[in-house]
Amino acid sequence: MRRAIATVSLSGMLREKLQAAAAARFDAVEIFENDLLQFPGSPRDVRSICEDLGLGIDLFQPFRDYDAPGATQLARNLDRAERKFDLMQELGTQMILVCSNVQPDAVADPAVLAEQFAQLAERAGRRGMRIAYEALAWGTQVKLWKQAWDVVRRVDHPHLGLALDSFHTLALRDDPTDIAQLPGDKIFFMQLADAPWVATDVLTHSRHYRCFPGQGELEVARFTRAALDAGYDGPLSLEIFNDEFRAAPARSNAVDAMRSLLWLEEQVRLDRAAEAARKPLLAPTRKVALFDPPPPARLDGWSFIEFAVDPAAGVVLAQWLARAGFVRMGRHRSKQVDLYGQGDVRIVLNLEADSFARSHFEAHGPSVCAVALAGADPAVAVARAEALLCPRAIGRIGQNELAIPAVRAPDGSLIYFCGTTQDGHPPFEADFVLDAGVDVAGAFGPGAAVDHLVHAVPAGQVEPWTLFSRAVLGLVPERNVVLHDPYGVIRSREFESADKAVRLAVTMSERENTSVARSVARQRGAGLQQIAVAVPDLVATARRLKALGAPLLPIPDNYYDDVLAKHDVEPGLLAAMRELGILYDREPDGAEFLQLYLLPYEERFHIELVERRGGYAGYGTANAPFRLAAMAQWRDGLPRLAVAA
């Protein structure tokens, strides 16, 4: 497929936008009119910049409010169109998007509309231009693609066709199925956008909430497939704008855009393949080459978590880990890297000078520079990531050591892909000289394993992580929740593998004094904020941690009075929870969740311990205000941090 992007999707000035689109390997752009009007040079200059960058200009857009209630206004609008044709000629593009009229006096009668569009098509034809007519979801009269198609069909002119936009159709919950029945050559252009479902009007929805396919909840693949089934073989073009993207760096956003298109093509291909498997006798649909990356690899869980430290910070962090019950298991065979363990949780402290970890430490201070996912086929996982434009990271490997493949996560940290654990030992342990006789059951107890990880990110980074988690890692986006920190709202998005072996949350706060924003500020950009470990018996673990002198987050007594008022909790358990600071939640089906927090390392990251009973599926959202308030209470005892300093 030819892959395109509208310049309105990228932030900054036109030249930057074009450079970003070319660098992300787009074939073409749609030139958004305002970008051109703002450009301090001629349309011919824009044309030559695009030529230099190898970018086609596939569309000029938008031309608004064409149809008119009277002849005078129509004549004016035709004049206006001619002026735009002049400009398009200089620009070297042949197609203009005309969107349905949003003025109160827009033409309602399809026959009149057809008559007026026939005139426009005729004018366009004379100039060698093509009109792609789009039904805006908030058009006064024409809102649906079928209405626009009715006009195109009536006019039946080679220079008039349809522009389809997934948002306009799907956001109205209009059905795209019949698009597959259209003559493919009458679909002149395809614009693609996703969006989350938001309770608002469709115009606000479009202006502020569009996102790249895969970041939202619309059935963009289904929509796209219908057009391809119709025989459309023109560009797939992203037209996305939202409040975050308008401020996102154009370069990385363009790469995300391309990643989303590639992923979308894969979804369409898989959908067709699944249907072909179900209905083997059906004639194959017309074909364009769709992106075909390696499939997502099955993931078994988190294999290890690697902290970047220098020798001084390493001592402090090692003490912090020891207080949380971790024991030192050994040292890397060739590097200044220590391994700590507890239950099945593995933590690596990387003290190696002149390494990726050290650069990460210099940029972010003591923080997680890498996490490792376990799975049967690391090579496939990395190949998929690379195919989806995630750069592979290559580190130094000693003789006879494992080459653990890794890719860059959206925040620049690494994600390793390791083989599956065998006999309780993850394969990467082979690179370590393990101390003899170390008991790693620790306070967590045998079988303790990472339940989920939480990344704290700045504004604008949730969407890139969504696409990365979904497209690259093959996780499924789950809940989107709002949490109340005493100093502002926190938003959190959860991602899980289908079998729940891997759980990941991404959390963001635009208010500078929340726990999340302060972790982001401390870590100078983004960073892992929480390691949640599932243990088989949280009360027992908590008692062992307490005996060890672990710094447990104190929870106020009042909280437990309310737990008792709300839930029938067995008095012994309630007393234990009250004593140890364990939080409690119960789902309507009786599934229970116990949570315990250790005090954070500085305000950077912390450990949570959880016990899931009876298949509890969530993350204890109901308890978030209490643990966030308890964190804030603890923090008030700390010296004040100058945020963003």
Amino acid occupying residue 568: D
Q: What CA–CA distance (Å, rounded) separates 584 from 268?
A: 43
CB of 14 to a copy of itself, least distance (A): 9
Nearer to a copy of itself, 327 or 641 (CB): 641
Which DSSP symbol is given to 272?
A: H
Q: What CA–CA distance (Å, rounded) separates 217 from 230?
A: 24
Is residue 401 marked as binding? no
CB of 355 to a copy of itself, least distance (A): 28
CB of 398 to a copy of itself, least distance (A): 40
Nearer to a copy of itself, 178 or 561 (CB): 561
CB of 241 to a copy of itself, least distance (A): 9
458: Cα separation from own chain's centroid = 13
Is residue 239 marked as binding? yes
Four-CA torsion 180, 184, 189, 193, nearest 10 degrees: 20
Nearer to a copy of itself, 145 or 167 (CB): 167
Nearer to a copy of itself, 140 or 334 (CB): 140
CB of 514 to a copy of itself, least distance (A): 7
633 phi, psi to nearest 5 deg: -60, -45
Nearer to a copy of itself, 103 or 336 (CB): 103
Q: Is 590 exposed, middle or buried (0-12, 13-18, 19+ CB in 10 A)?
A: exposed
Residue count (the chain): 645
CB of 479 to a copy of itself, least distance (A): 16
Nearer to a copy of itself, 387 or 459 (CB): 459
CB of 364 to a copy of itself, least distance (A): 18
Asked if 164 and 230 touch (Cβ cutoff 8 Å), the reply is: no
Nearer to a copy of itself, 83 or 640 (CB): 83
Question: Residues near 400 by Cβ (< 8 Å), separated by ≥ 6?
Answer: none
Sites of contact with a copy of itself (CB under 8 A): 11-13, 33-34, 36-43, 79-80, 83-84, 87, 198-201, 204, 207, 243, 246-247, 459, 482, 484-489, 510-514, 554, 556-559, 561-562, 564-566, 625-626, 629-630, 632-633, 636, 644
447: Cα separation from own chain's centroid = 31
Nearer to a copy of itself, 158 or 556 (CB): 556
Question: Residues near 150 by Cβ (< 8 Å), separated by ≥ 6?
Answer: 110
Nearer to a copy of itself, 177 or 200 (CB): 200
590 phi, psi to nearest 5 deg: 95, -10
The per-residue DSSP string of 158-216 comes to TTEEEEEEHHHHHTTT---GGGGGS-GGGEEEEEE-B----SS-HHHHHHHH-B-TTSS
CB of 45 to a copy of itself, least distance (A): 10
Structure tokens at 411: 């925040």
CB of 85 to a copy of itself, least distance (A): 11
Sole residue written with tokens 């995300």: 256
Question: Residues near 38 by Cβ (< 8 Å), separated by ≥ 6?
Answer: 13, 14
Q: What CA–CA distance (Å, rounded) separates 392 from 407?
A: 4
Is residue 134 marked as binding? yes
Is residue 191 marked as binding? yes
Q: Please report, in range form, the residues annotated as the binding site.
A: 134, 165, 191, 239
Q: Please report, in range form, the residues annotated as the binding site for a divalent metal cation.
A: 134, 165, 191, 239
